[in-house]
Amino acid sequence: MKVNDRKKSAVDSETITGILRRVIAENGRDHIRGYAFAIACLVTVAATTGFTAWIMETVINEVFANRRGDIVLLVCLSLFGAFVLRGLATYGQAVAFSKIGNNIVATYKRRLYSHLMALSVGYFHEQRSARLLAKINQNVGGIRDVLNMTVTSIARDFLTLVGLVGVMFSKDWLLSLIVFSVAPPLLLGLRYISKRLRLATREAVEVNSRVLGAMQETIQGITIVKAFTMEEELRRKVEAIIERAENRANRIARLSERTAPMTETFAGFAISSVLAYAAFRTIYSNIPPGAFFAFVTALLMAYDPARRLARLQVSLERAAVNARMLYEILDTVPHQRDRPDATEIKLGEATVELRDVRFAYGNGEEILKGVSFRAEGGKTTALVGPSGAGKSTIISLIPRFYDPHAGEILIDGQNIAGVTKQSLRNGLAYVSQQPYLFEGSIRDNIRYGRADASDAEVEEAARLAYAHDFILAQPQGYDTPVGEQGITLSGGQRQRLSIARALVRDAPILLLDEATSALDTESEAAVQKALEQAMSGRTVIVIAHRLSTVINADKIVVMKDGTVVEEGTHEELARRPDGLYARLHNLQGSALEVTENGAA
């Protein structure tokens, strides 16, 4: 979808009509047969309901007043058949709507997941993940509800009401006019309520997403919560949000249910007026009551569909708010889309070069201030320097998690801004600072590095990462579930699995963002040996905080305040007494991460 089309869709979606038009355009064609069947069932329900009211005049006048026994069986069989047919039709439309609704929800969940995968890393850094997921969970049914309520109201409630109103007018047009005289003020009142309900519903969704988000964050960070005895503080915070959510829910309930006294009052006035008029005619004009009973039956049966139609705008407003918020996510335009003329990257030596690269997160202070250096193909380049110097930012720019604001990043002379992200990232293996494991087995998590990797390749990658032995010690070996975010494994074990995942990818460029930071000394030494073998013949860019990694690097790039201040080998840089690298080396020994004043 083009940007202009998305903007137009966003504008159209501000109204219920716009939401409905968009939902029908996106889903109507896929479910036309299912809706046709459901509508046929609803028309049957409307027809049998109208028939039940219409036949009451015959029942009262012919069966009870005139005592015609010859038509009793026919009337009873007709009524029985009408109820059986209505029951089957009700079942059919309910099942059809459920299947269509479930498919719509599943379709939009797939669309949402696919769209979220297309959004940049920056989008997720700007959004709180727990609240985003809670918002999706609450709103995904809104589109289904908008469509189903509209079809149900038109095909069942509206047609039923039309049929029953036809019966009413055919029996007594004056009584019908008395009943409908109360409709205009009722509609005005419902319109007022729906406008107020729109804002209240949106506020409720926002607050409820905060509640679910706060609970999810507490569960994910329960170890920190317990360690710092944060239970009471978080309890007060969450209870305050829950109280706000409760108040919003109570307000919505008051507004939504305010329709009940309004409709009941108007219905009571209409029915009382009808009874008074009919009683007067029967008592003083000796008119047979059959037509009146048929009229009253139609009136009473029309009450439910009329009440549902009266509440339709209120109900649609609530569903439309959910649909709008869902479309706000779907209408978010990915900022890092491939250019129309993007090509597949062609990797040879896999030399990485930064030329005067500048970057800032959002509208914040500039992190990289004209960074330039060259990482030779097949060699290891280490990035060192104080915290906040921009090292991790560089690692994030090479796979295009973000795009630089100025300058170029070249791989084998090709500007990565002009190649497809898929081909670029296929040539990279990445080990992040914080190891992340997904739900599934150990084998699954390693194979995420390359989906077509064989079991033998997975196990070989684990051996190179010195993970094979501890994996075999697990209850089910490589098939052992890792638990949520790998909670069943130690930090060092999780990191070695993430390294194995990078190794099985067998990519020509390897990015290591403090890959050994979570390992103990023994594990680090083992993994370092494995990495030295894995680095052979590859271009490696590593953020190094420990001397063991830096010493063996072919080039060390020293950074400070977003700029490159020194380049060279360990021996060259260590011999510069006034250099930043030498000062950090002397102050920290094997720990190279320091702050500006030399503290770790």
Strand partners, 343: 419
User: Looking at residue 541, what is its pLDDT?
Assistant: 92
Which amino acid makes up residue 158?
F
**Cα–Cα distance measured from residue 131 to residue 147, given in angstroms and rounded to the nearest whole number:** 26
**Per residue in 132-179, pLDDT tens?**
776 677 677 777 877 777 777 777 778 777 887 887 788 777 777 767
State percent of the chain over pLDDT 70: 83
**Cα–Cα distance measured from residue 335 to residue 119, given in angstroms and rounded to the nearest whole number:** 7
**Cα–Cα distance measured from residue 544 to residue 554, given in angstroms and rounded to the nearest whole number:** 13
Instruction: Show the tokens assigned to 96.
Output: 């059809």
Side-chain half-sphere exposure of 402, counting CA atoms within 13 A = 21
Range in 204-208, 239-243, 300-304, 514-518 with the lowest mean pLDDT: 514-518
Q: pLDDT higher for 20 or 530?
A: 20
User: Looking at residue 556, what is its pLDDT?
Assistant: 92
Q: What's the mean pLDDT in 41-53?
A: 85
- Is residue 7 over pLDDT 50? no
CB atoms under 10 Å from CB of 461, counted, come to 27
Which pLDDT band holds residue 335 (cuts at 50, 70, 90)? confident
DSSP alpha helices (H): ranges in 221-359? 222-227, 231-257, 259-285, 290-330
**Cα–Cα distance measured from residue 109 to residue 365, given in angstroms and rounded to the nearest whole number:** 37
User: Looking at residue 585, what is its pLDDT?
Assistant: 72
- Is residue 427 over pLDDT 80? yes
Give the global pTM.
Answer: 0.68
Query: Cβ(23)–Cβ(143) under 8 Å?
Result: yes
Q: What's the mean pLDDT in 95-102?
A: 87
Backbone phi, then psi, for 412, in 5-degree steps?
50, 40
Backbone phi, then psi, for 516, in 5-degree steps?
-105, 10
User: Looking at residue 594, what is its pLDDT?
Assistant: 38
- Is residue 2 over pLDDT 60? no
User: Looking at residue 592, what is its pLDDT?
Assistant: 39
CB atoms under 10 Å from CB of 244, counted, come to 17
Does residue 567 sit in helix, strand or coil? strand
411: enclosing H helix or E strand: strand 406-411
Inter-axis angle of helices 3-12 and 290-330, to 10 degrees? Answer: 150
Instruction: Show the tokens assigned to 570.
Output: 């360990």
State percent of the chain over pLDDT 90: 16
**Cα–Cα distance measured from residue 202 to residue 34, given in angstroms and rounded to the nearest whole number:** 31
- Is residue 35 over pLDDT 90? no
**Cα–Cα distance measured from residue 306 to residue 320, given in angstroms and rounded to the nearest whole number:** 21
Q: What's the mean pLDDT in 570-598?
A: 66
User: Looking at residue 123, what is its pLDDT?
Assistant: 78
Range in 15-19, 197-201, 571-575, 579-583 with the lowest mean pLDDT: 197-201
Which pLDDT band holds residue 354 (cuts at 50, 70, 90)? very high
User: What is 180-227 written as a DSSP string?
Assistant: HTTHHHHHHHHHHHHHHHHHHHHHHHHHHHHHHHHHHHHHHTHHHHHH
Query: Cβ(576)–Cβ(552) under 8 Å?
Result: no
Compute the residue count for the chain. 600
Instruction: Show the tokens assigned to 32.
Output: 């036309």
Does residue 564 sit in helix, strand or coil? strand
User: Looking at residue 584, what is its pLDDT?
Assistant: 75
**Cα–Cα distance measured from residue 8 to residue 6, given in angstroms and rounded to the nearest whole number:** 5
Domains of the chain: 3-330 (1.20.1560.10)
| Maximal CA-CA distance, the chain | 121
Q: Which of 318, 188, 305 is nearest to 255 (CA)?
A: 318
Mean pLDDT score of the chain: 79
**Cα–Cα distance measured from residue 275 to residue 223, given in angstroms and rounded to the nearest whole number:** 70
CA distances 154 to 21, 39, 149, Å, are: 15, 9, 8
Which pLDDT band holds residue 320 (cuts at 50, 70, 90)? confident
Q: pLDDT higher for 194 or 447?
A: 447
Strand order in the sheet with 380-384: 428-431, 509-513, 539-543, 380-384, 555-560, 563-568
User: Looking at residue 8, what is its pLDDT?
Assistant: 41
User: Looking at residue 134, what is its pLDDT?
Assistant: 67
Query: Cβ(10)–Cβ(320) under 8 Å?
Result: no
Residue 369, classified by CB atoms within 10 Å of its CB into exposed (0-12), middle (13-18) or buried (19+), is middle
Which pLDDT band holds residue 410 (cuts at 50, 70, 90)? very high
Query: Cβ(215)–Cβ(238) under 8 Å?
Result: yes
User: Looking at residue 255, what is its pLDDT?
Assistant: 75
What is the Cα gyration radius of the chain?
A: 35
Q: pLDDT higher for 5 or 216?
A: 216
User: Looking at residue 521, what is its pLDDT?
Assistant: 67
**Cα–Cα distance measured from residue 140 to residue 328, given in angstroms and rounded to the nearest whole number:** 12
